[in-house]
Chains A and B, each alone.
Chain A
Amino acid sequence: MASMDGSEPLPPPRPVWDDDAIDRLLARLLQAGVLLSTLLVLAGGIVFLLHHGRATPQYSHFTGEPAELSNVAGIIRSAFRGDGRGLIQLGLLVLVATPVLRVAGSLAAFVVLKDRTYMVLTSVVLLLLASSLMAVVF
């Protein structure tokens, strides 16, 4: 990359994300997250359809989901009970967590790069995500 004609040297190139070990690790984590989520939703779907497949669905009338399917503790409890709907919901939680994980990984990368501005910006995004997910935790 150095200039060969003796003119002013080029500024050092910006680190390329593609070559970053963190980024490759992140891609693999993302892939694992989507795969795990798909498997949970698929397994839960099969259990759900075996038990409720012949019933008439009630999607045209909004009643809202019960607490056991709308907060983390309840979802984990019903998933471990082997409930189909609980397993699907756990898969969806994993899915929601994948982009959050990606932001956390970017924060780690900016810490390694000692990039103050983007450490702050990424932390703000993480805090905003956390404030939304708090609604599901409690």
Chain B
Amino acid sequence: MTTLEVTVLIAAGAFLAGLLGALTGLGGGVVIVPLLTLVFGIDFRYAVGASLVSVIATSSGAAVAYVREGYTNVRLGMLLEVATTIGALFGATLAGWIAPSALAVVFGLVLLGSAWFAAQPRPERVVESPDPLATRLRLDGTYPSLQGEKHYHVQRVPLGFGIMAGAGALSGMLGIGSGALKVLAMDQAMCLPFKVSTTTSNFMIGVTAAASAGIYLARGYVDPGLAMPVVLGVLAGATLGARVLATTRSALLRVIFAIVVGVLGVEMIINGFHGRV
């Protein structure tokens, strides 16, 4: 195949990933690396480099819409970014020391975890009582709802901070947004309302990815010819997905996405063990 043909096919695949990622709220970044390595036979390091920059593109692209809505808890985002950026720098540095086939196995495990996460029902756990540490850090906030302004109290700050450091390390190591883990930390550990956790997580994904992007660029992992169709495809897919999102949020779509991600996870692990990635 020629470069032109490969570029068009990758752009189409990235478009689908971005669309599905936005529609299911899980981000398309997690399927970009398996798509590039398993389907197109691209080197793991180039795949991770391209995926990482596409993660920044979707985050910054969506942020424009989210900022206007005003749900983002900037204080909480900034506090947790201390954890994610440290984690990302650590993960990106570590990635240079680990064999790509071993990273592929880790990637497969993360995919299986994301598939499980996507299939789980996640109840909203808004708590009425304030937490002393969250109060001292002025993390509590309000968000607009049909019943007017609603207050929420942030819980378990140290636990959330710890999970975020792990999310950052995975993001830096594998070139993904770790959106699932970030939302998990904020929804379940810190008890934020969905609207706040989704937008705050999006705000943080771009900053976390930017922290490892410098290291990846300098190491020569970001190939422009490959990153171009990935970034443009994901951005177009995610933008369209965000438009459609207002009308549909199908449970069926989440199940399909979970199955696709799970199958890709098993494939990544098998290929990693055989040293084919």
Q: Is the CB of B207 within 8 A of A99?
A: yes
- Complex: chain B residue closest to A53, CB-CB: B4
> Which B residues are in CB contact (< 8 Å) with A85?
224-225
Interface membership of B211, Cβ < 8 A: yes
Stretch at the interface among B62-70, B106-114, B117-125, B261-269: B62-70
Chain B: number of interface residues, binned into ranges: 35 or more
Q: Is the CB of A125 within 8 A of B64?
A: no
Q: 1/0 per residue A80-119: CB within 8 Å of B?
A: 0000111011001101111110110010010000010110
Are the CB atoms of B232 and A48 closer together than 8 Å? no
Q: Does B178 contact A (CB under 8 A)?
A: no
Within 1-35 of A, Cβ neighbours of B (below 8 Å) are at 14, 16-19, 23-24, 26-27, 30-31, 33-34
B60 engages A57 (CB within 8 Å)? no
Q: Which B27-63 residues sit within 8 Å CB-CB of chain A?
A: 40-46, 53, 56-57, 59-61, 63
- Which residue among B82, B220, B221 has the maximum number of chain A CB atoms within 10 Å of its CB? B220
Q: Given A59-B40, A60-B43, are A99 and B210 also a contact pair (CB < 8 Å)? A: yes
In the complex, what's the smallest C-beta–C-beta distance from B2 to chain A, in angstroms? Answer: 5
Verify B72–A34 contact, CB threshold 8 A: no
Collect the chain B residues with CB atoms within 8 Å of residue A88's CB. Answer: 224-225, 227-228
Chain A contacts for B137, CB-based, 8 A = 117
Q: Which residues of B contact A31 (CB under 8 A)?
A: 64
- Rounded to whole Å, the gap between the CB of B238 and the closest CB of chain A is 11
* B138 at interface, CB cutoff 8 A: yes
Binary interface encoding of chain B residues 139-161 relative to chain A, with 1 for a CB under 8 A from any of its CBs, else 0: 00110000000000000000000
* Interface contact B89-A132, CB-CB below 8 Å: yes
The answer to whether B214 and A99 touch across the interface, beta carbons within 8 angstroms, is: no
Are B206 and A99 in touch, CB under 8 angstroms?
yes
A5 to B35, CA, bound (A): 62
Contact A89 B78, beta carbon cutoff 8 Å: no
Q: Tell me the complex Cα distance, A16–B56, Å.
A: 26
Residue contacts A-B, CB under 8 angstroms, 12 given: A17-B67, A34-B60, A37-B57, A45-B7, A53-B4, A56-B3, A57-B6, A62-B46, A99-B59, A128-B211, A129-B85, A136-B214
Q: Which 7 A-B pairs have the closest CB atoms?
A: A18-B70, A64-B220, A132-B214, A88-B224, A53-B4, A65-B220, A135-B218
Known: A30-B60, A37-B57, A89-B224. 17 other contacts (CB 8 A): A18-B70, A38-B235, A49-B4, A56-B1, A57-B6, A59-B225, A65-B223, A70-B217, A70-B220, A92-B53, A96-B210, A99-B206, A100-B210, A118-B75, A129-B214, A133-B214, A136-B218
A residues touching B (Cβ–Cβ < 8 Å)? Answer: 14, 16-19, 23-24, 26-27, 30-31, 33-34, 37-38, 41-42, 44-45, 48-49, 52-57, 59-62, 64-66, 69-71, 84-86, 88-89, 92-93, 95-100, 102-103, 106, 109, 115, 117-118, 121-122, 124-125, 128-129, 131-136
